[in-house]
Amino acid sequence: MEHASSGHIPHAQLIVSKNGGLAWPAVQRYIQMLVCAQGGCGTCDACAQHRQMAHPDVHYIFPVVASASSGGTSDVFLPEFRNFLKFNKFPVVRNWIEALDAAQKVVQISVKEAKRMGDILSLTSHSGRYKVLVIWLPERMHDSAANKLLKTLEEPENKTVILLISHDEESILGTIRSRCQTIYLPPWGRNEVERWLIDERRMDPNQAKILSSLSAGEPGIALDFLENRERLIPLAEHFVEWLRLAFKKDLPGLQTWVDHVAAWNREQQRDFLVFSGEVLSQLERKRQNALRGFALDWFPEIAFNADGFAKLMDHHKVLFMHQTLDDAYKDVGRNVNARLVFFDASLLLMKAF
C-alpha cells in the first residue's frame, strides 16, 4: 500500500492475501495513517476510534446473510463483526459464516448494499480528512453491488479511498480488478506464526509448533485449527486409515473408505486433501529427521505408527502422492463425481506403495 505521507493515495486498492492471512491488520494500519492527523500516532481520538472500528469516516462492507429482517446490509451486523475480529484479527471466511450461523444460507454482499454504498460515498467527511470504504470479500458481491462499485471506481471522488480485501482474486469481476492497484501479501511464514502463537497468544510451545506446521504460514488458519480441533479429527482419522488400506492393498476396505469420504461435502473433501498433503510432507521431513511438530501428535486418540510409515516413504513416492492429491483437489473443484475421484486416487496411492 502507498505510504500515506508520500502524498499520492491511490483511489482504489485491492489487497490480496490467503484466507486467514495478513490483509486485515495491514489494512487497519494503513487506515490509521489516513485518519490520523499525526500520520498514525496510535494515541489520538481518531486512532482510538478507528481501533474500535467506530471512526465516522471509515465504513465497512462485508458479506452477510441476505434475510428480510436484517435488511441484508453489513451495518446491521457491525457489532458481531467487531467481536469476530477481536478474537481473530486474521479472519477466516468459514468462521464468519459460522458466526452468522449461516452454513446453509447465501452469505454475500447483497443488492441492498449497492444503495448503501452510494449513501456512504455521498457523505461528507466528518474530520475533513479521508473517507475510507473497506470491502471485505469483493468476490462475494452480488452483481448489482458490483456494478455500483464499478461506477464508483470509474468516477472517483476526491479524498475517498476504497480498500478491497480479497482471498480469492480470480472470482472478482475483471473490470473491477483492472481499476484497482493490486497488492499481494504473502504468507507470514510458519516460524513467525509459531512465535506469534507463543508470545501473543500465550500458547504451549509444543502446540504452537504443531499448529504453525499446519497453518501454511497463515496465522488465522492456525487459530481456526485451535478453535476447531474436532473438525480435523475425521480428516486425520481418514488419512491414517487411507494410508493403512492402501499399504495393505485392501480393495474392499478402500471401497468402504471411498463411500465415507464421498458422502462429505465438497469443502470437507478439499480440506481433507490439503490436510493430507501437509501430513504427507511432514512424514517426508520426519524421514529426513527434519521435522518440528508432527500434526498427528495433536490427536493422541488416533493410533498411527508415524516412524514406520515415514520409513516406507521415499522422495519419488512422496512426489507421486502429492501429484495424486493435487489432481484430486482440482477434480473436486470441478465437480467431478467424488466417488470416482477418491477411488481413482486410492488406486494410485496403492500403486505408490
When asked if residue 47 is in the footprint of Zn ion (CB under 5 A), the reply is yes
Residues 6+ away with beta carbon under 8 Å from 131: 57, 59, 120, 121, 123, 125, 159, 160, 161
What cell numbers appear for 289 in the block? 529427521
When asked if residue 312 is in the footprint of Zn ion (CB under 5 A), the reply is no
Minimal distance in Å, beta carbon 331 to Zn ion?
51
In a 13 Å sphere around the CA of 109, the CA atoms on its Cβ side amount to 26
> Long-range contacts: 186-191, Cβ < 8 Å, 24+?
186/17, 187/18, 187/21, 187/22, 187/216, 187/217, 187/218, 188/21, 188/22, 188/217, 188/218, 188/219, 189/217, 190/215, 190/216, 190/217
Using the rule CB under 5 A, give the single segment among 30-38, 222-230, 234-242, 345-353 that binds Zn ion: 30-38
Residue 190 corresponds to which amino acid? Answer: R
Residues 6+ away with beta carbon under 8 Å from 228: none
Which of 41, 251, 319, 336 is close enough to bind Zn ion by CB under 5 A?
A: 41
Using the rule CB under 5 A, give the single segment among 4-12, 15-23, 46-54, 129-137 that binds Zn ion: 46-54
Residue number with the shortest CB distance to Zn ion?
36
Which of 36, 120, 121, 245 is close enough to bind Zn ion by CB under 5 A?
A: 36
Minimal distance in Å, beta carbon 15 to Zn ion?
22
Using the rule CB under 5 A, give the single segment among 43-51, 93-101, 133-141, 304-312 that binds Zn ion: 43-51
Which of 9, 10, 26, 44 is close enough to bind Zn ion by CB under 5 A?
A: 44
**Nearest-angstrom CA–CA distance, 196 and 159:** 36
Minimal distance in Å, beta carbon 7 to Zn ion?
19
When asked if residue 22 is in the footprint of Zn ion (CB under 5 A), the reply is no
Minimal distance in Å, beta carbon 127 to Zn ion?
11
Of the pair 50, 238, the CB lying nearest Zn ion is at: 50
Cβ contact 64:110 at 8 Å: yes
Minimal distance in Å, beta carbon 47 to Zn ion?
3
- How is residue 109 annotated by DSSP? B
Minimal distance in Å, beta carbon 280 to Zn ion?
48
Q: Which residues bind Zn ion (CB under 5 A)?
A: 36, 41, 44, 47
